[in-house]
């Protein structure tokens, strides 16, 4: 995992390879301690983690819940649940609620409470990463981190955030490509669009 400080913030990034390795480690951790038969992924990053865990754990039932608490990197808004999980997806099941990262813990703990009235047989939670200051610690996770994490599918978000700090396309490209190892081609595409908007 790479790290860079820009202005008053620390940013981290994972490559696709690191992300897949962490997903495999998380799957092994879950497999050794719990046998879920249903995954409920918190959109949107949790859906990517959930899909990889479903594959590695041979779980055919993968559902999503849409919940949002961030307006942009580092800027939290009110918690908005805009798609609840289907009622029957957890009833009587051993459920694993999955997210990519636990920041404050508000989203994951809310989802855990949200599904209890549907009477799952058992529920546990998992996330790839947990922020050191989180008030909620999932049952399974790989690593605690400090700073804002960009996953490999968040090129636009990374460009917008770093550009908002540097106000320079050249510096933004250098930070994202040289320091955080995002694809130069993808970063250039996004930055071209940013300049027009």
What is the DSSP annotation of the chain?
Answer: -EEEEETTEEEEE--HHHHHHHHHHHHHHHHHH---SEEEEEETHHHHHHHHHHHHHT--EEEEEEEEEEEETTEEEEEEEEEPPPGGGTTTSEEEEEEEEESSSHHHHHHHHHHGGG--SEEEEEEEEEETT-S---SEEEEEE-SEEE-TT-HHHHHHHHHHHH--HHHHHHIIIIIS---HHHHHHHHHHHHH-
Q: What is the mean pLDDT of each run of 10 residues along the chain (197 residues)?
A: 93 95 98 96 91 96 80 58 75 95 88 89 96 94 96 94 93 95 95 76
Residue 94: per-residue pLDDT: 96
In the chain, domain spans: 16-147, 154-196
Residue 67: per-residue pLDDT: 81
CATH code given to domain 16-147: 3.40.50.2020
Residue 43: per-residue pLDDT: 87
Helix (H, G, I), strand (E, B) or coil at 71: strand
Q: Per the confidence metrics, is the pTM higher than 0.75?
A: yes
Residue 76: per-residue pLDDT: 55
Residue 71: per-residue pLDDT: 53
Beta-carbon neighbour count of residue 56 at 10 Å?
16
Residue 117: per-residue pLDDT: 87
Kindly state the DSSP code that residue 86 receives in the 8-state scheme. P
């Amino acid at each position: 995992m790479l790290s860079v400080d820009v202005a008053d913030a620390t940013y981290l990034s994972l490559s696709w390879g690191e992300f897949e390795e962490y997903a495999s480690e998380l799957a092994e951790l879950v497999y050794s301690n719990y046998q879920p038969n249903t995954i409920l992924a918190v959109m949107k990053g949790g859906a990517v983690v959930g899909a990889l865990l479903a594959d590695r754990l041979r779980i055919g039932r993968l559902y999503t819940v849409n919940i949002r608490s961030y307006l942009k990197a580092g800027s939290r808004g009110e918690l908005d649940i805009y798609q609840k999980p289907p009622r029957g997806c957890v009833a009587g099941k051993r459920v694993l609620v999955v997210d990519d990262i636990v920041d404050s813990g508000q989203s994951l703990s809310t989802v855990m409470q949200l599904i209890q009235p549907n009477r799952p047989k058992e529920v546990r939670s998992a996330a790839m990463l947990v922020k050191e200051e989180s008030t909620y610690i999932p049952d399974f996770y790989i690593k605690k981190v400090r700073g804002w994490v960009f996953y490999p599918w968040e090129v636009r978000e990374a460009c917008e955030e770093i550009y908002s700090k540097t106000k320079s396309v050249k510096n933004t490209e250098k930070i994202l490509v040289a320091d955080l190892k995002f694809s130069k081609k993808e970063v250039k595409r996004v930055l071209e669009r940013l300049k027009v908007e």
